[in-house]
Amino acid sequence: MTACSLLVLAVATAAACAVVSPASAGPYLCPWRTVAHVDDPFIQSLGKWAVVQSGATLAFDKVESARAQGVGECTSMTRNYDLVIDASNRAGAGDDKYRAVVFVTYMTQPQKLLSFERITA
């Protein structure tokens, strides 16, 4: 091979490696961790906010359990929260459990409701 061919091959290899590098694959997700103090006012207010944002005709009762997942660096303040929420139907049909996933970036943008669904037994 000529020097020019080797240079072209080296550039093509470098470009291919850059395309599949982890940095370009999206944000790094840390493992889910159980929130120890589910009665924390922040967690409870996040659950109440998720119920309101869902648009369902539900009355928030409480967050029963919660897990947090760091997004980006595991020590960052950007997190996904997986909440199990106890809520009652405003029509009086009884209590149900719902799962909400909320993305929170502290101090830069408001939280975002990623999903909200009824948990079936």
Parent domain of 41: 27-118
Residue 91 confidence (pLDDT): 66
User: Is residue 73 one of the residues assigned to a domain?
Assistant: yes
Mean of pLDDT over the chain: 78
Q: State the chain's maximal CA–CA distance in angstroms.
A: 80
User: Is residue 113 one of the residues assigned to a domain?
Assistant: yes
User: Is residue 16 one of the residues assigned to a domain?
Assistant: no
User: Is residue 44 one of the residues assigned to a domain?
Assistant: yes
Residue 15 confidence (pLDDT): 40
Q: Which amino acid is at 83?
A: L
Residue 95 confidence (pLDDT): 76
Residue 2 confidence (pLDDT): 64
103/52 Cα distance (integer angstroms): 15
User: Is residue 100 one of the residues assigned to a domain?
Assistant: yes
Residue 107 confidence (pLDDT): 64
User: Is residue 36 one of the residues assigned to a domain?
Assistant: yes
CATH assignment of the domain containing 101 = 3.10.450.10
Section 109-114 average pLDDT: 86
What three-state secondary structure class fits 10?
Answer: helix
DSSP 30: P
What three-state secondary structure class fits 59?
Answer: strand
User: Is residue 7 one of the residues assigned to a domain?
Assistant: no
pLDDT, tens digit (0-9, with 9 covering 90-100), for 7-45: 444 444 444 333 332 333 356 888 999 999 999 999 999
pLDDT, tens digit (0-9, with 9 covering 90-100), for 64-76: 999 999 888 666 6
User: Is residue 2 one of the residues assigned to a domain?
Assistant: no
Please state the domain count of the chain.
1
85/121 Cα distance (integer angstroms): 14
